Amino acid sequence: MIRKLSAEVFGTFWLVFAVLGTAMFAAGFPEVGVGFIGVGFAAGVAVLTAAYAVGGISGGHFNPAVSFGLAVAGRFEWKELPGYWIAQIVGGALAAVIVFWIGSGQAGFTAGGFAANGYDTLSPGGFSLISVIVIEIVLTAAFLIVILGSTSKAAPAGFAPIAIGLALFVAHLIGIPVSNASLNPARSIASAIFSTTGAWSQIWVFIVAPLAGGALGALVYNYLLAPGESPANIGRP
């Protein structure tokens, strides 16, 4: 079990480090800043590479909402959920500490929002609480469906991390302007640790909505898409 939890710590660390590091150091860099497209790309590539690196050890969740959704779908043991959640939160927090430490080495550095998620005044586009809840649920549900489908017996073997990484990239392109794209409670908690803009007061949204989205995605996949998914049944009435 320790190997699984260690893999989740590393994978979540790498994902959150990529997102926060890109957002804090590269997104707004003068003249050559990568913007939110670069942040989304970093998230997608990070989860892709981590999945190939340690996915074979732990399943490559790196996200409490993913672990929860997989448990709802019957792909993950409920008894292992608390350990995975702790490992993921630790990995995300460790990434936040290192990003803050690196940033502190620059003259005039301020944490500010620290790439935290938010609604209303803390939303990048000023979107309402309802808009943020809806997009977080929908994007997380879609992400879970991609995970479940790409790792099913009907999918080509070995390509799941690519599909999952691209799905996370697309989700960030859609979600960053609205909520700064959480989809991941561990990522949101990590951002809120050093944020000075009041992210902690809104953190409940970015825990509850992704978890709800994970459960919804699992239910949609199990009851609408999964039956008869084996390769032998593809194309049959």
What is the average per-residue pLDDT within 6-15? 97
For 65-114, the pLDDT digits (tens) are: 999 999 999 999 999 999 999 999 999 999 999 999 999 888 888 888 89
Q: Read off the pTM.
A: 0.90
What is the Cα–Cα distance from 211 to 18, expressed in whole angstroms? 22
Cβ-contact 218, 76 below 8 angstroms: no
Does 29 score more than 70 pLDDT?
A: no
> Which alpha helices (DSSP H) does 22-117 contain, by range?
35-58, 64-72, 81-103
User: What pLDDT does residue 155 have?
Assistant: 81
User: What pLDDT does residue 31 have?
Assistant: 61
Query: In sequence order, which residues have a C-beta less than 8 Å from that of residue 222 and are 6 or more positions away?
Result: 73, 74, 148
End-to-end Cα distance, the chain: 42
Does 36 score more than 90 pLDDT?
A: no
User: What pLDDT does residue 229 have?
Assistant: 55
The amino acid present at 51, given as its one-letter code, is: A
Domains and CATH numbers, the chain: 2-104+112-225 (1.20.1080.10)
Question: E strands within 88-153?
Answer: none
DSSP, res 224:
I
What is the average per-residue pLDDT within 197-223? 95
Q: Cα-atom radius of gyration of the chain, to the nearest Å? A: 17
Sign of the four-CA dihedral 36, 41, 47, 50: negative
Residues 92-128 as b or e (16 or more Cβ within 10 Å = b): bbbbbeebbeebeeeeeeebebbbbbbbeebbbeebe
Distances (CA, A) of 124 to 45, 141, 162, 179, 201: 23, 22, 28, 7, 17
Cβ-contact 22, 38 below 8 angstroms: yes
What is the Cα–Cα distance from 206 to 190, expressed in whole angstroms? 11
For 122-160, the pLDDT digits (tens) are: 999 999 999 999 999 999 999 999 999 999 888 888 899
Average model confidence (pLDDT) across the chain: 91
User: What pLDDT does residue 107 have?
Assistant: 84
Task: Look at the block and give the residue holding tokens 């970015």.
Answer: 206
Nearest 5°: the CA angle 205, 208, 213 is 110
Cβ-contact 187, 19 below 8 angstroms: yes
State both tokens at 104: 């502190």
